[in-house]
Structure 1
Amino acid sequence: MRVKHKKWADPYLESHPETVSINPTEYKGKWQNRFEKDQPLHLEVGMGKGQFIIGMAQKYPQFNFIGLEIESTVAAIAAKKAEPLALPNLTFVRADGAGLDTYFAEGEIQQLYLNFSDPWPKTRHEKRRLTYKSFLTNYQRVLVDQGCIEMKTDNMGLFEYSLQSLNNYGMLFDGVWLDLHHSDEQEDNVETEYEQKFAAKGQPIYKLRAHFK
């Protein structure tokens, strides 16, 4: 998510290390230390302004949640939004999603979420897509055995590409939804900001859930 840079963002992140980690490598293998309880870790890569990950932490107190975002301003907006809630099972990371294996130990994450990622539609940008094989390799390293990935998008091209990429990688699909908001899966769905925007326009939302062998 690209937004205009706010001057207050970097100072805010630097002054709230208890809420947002800007040096995630120092927590590799020790992320449970940032939470009140030792619970399974769920990670969202590219959390945007945080609506999904905050909603998940509120709905599922039995899990610990990490929201990762590369843009400082967006990460700061999410952290400020969560601040008054004081959720003991939520923390944030300002970092690049391409470096997950440098931030997390092998098998440290139980489940990973990719919501409305940049589709990078041009062929020459394929390697930047978060479901490209190099990203899948990193996900597999940090996820537990048979760890799960959930993905939501409004972009049919990215969705079709992701289905093929995950299938070629050997992942097993637990569910595929071509119109999430008109399916039984919607009952427990926690929406993102983008999701609400696109759904309001009548755009179908695509979702998949898959796990590594």
Structure 2
Amino acid sequence: MGKTTVIAIAGASASGKSLFASTVYQQLVEEFGTDGIAILAEDAYYRDQSHMTLEQRTFTNYDHPSAFEHDLLAQHIEQLRAGQAIDMPQYSYKVHTRMDETLRVKPAKVIMVEGILLLSDEQLRNAFDISVFMDTPLDICLLRRMKRDLEERGRTLSSITEQYEQYVRPAFFDFIYPSKQYADLVVTRGGQNEIAIDIIKTKIRQLLAE
């Protein structure tokens, strides 16, 4: 298979990084198949909280680096580089813990990883060959987050705004925005920036053609 290239897509919650990554992935997997490109989600590596009650889990700061098992994510990236398949955890946003099921991810020539705190962790930064930061205004992120959490994650408006004020916004300024300095490419307009999508797709095509 040759050299594996790992690309990080980072940015604030609801900044468009998941849409950006999935758009690039879906378009390229049609051309090159799953042997050419694979995708990992940092959200899948939220720590298991099955030992806690549901009420206790609601007090976890999910925007803090300690909420993630970044060591496992780094380990999985290295396994994929070494040509070994991994079992990526699956996470339930409704009950705030990992599910019993995992998702098998096979090695590929290009691995995309998307998440909010990827560039804030030095170990992970060292695992990436290319880093992209989605620079989307916070008010846009909040509106997207409210719509998503109300429609897809069974949250109430009061719980969304409380979490945003107490955890999400402070974490953005403490951890996420400062990590922008480590990005090779800063993308505006979130996942709808077609020029940036084309740039990344062109680069990945070059890597896959090598």
- Which structure shows the bigger proportion of residues in helix conformation? 2
Which protein has greater RCO, CA pairs closer than 8 Å, 6+ apart? 2
TM-score, structure 2 as length reference = 0.33
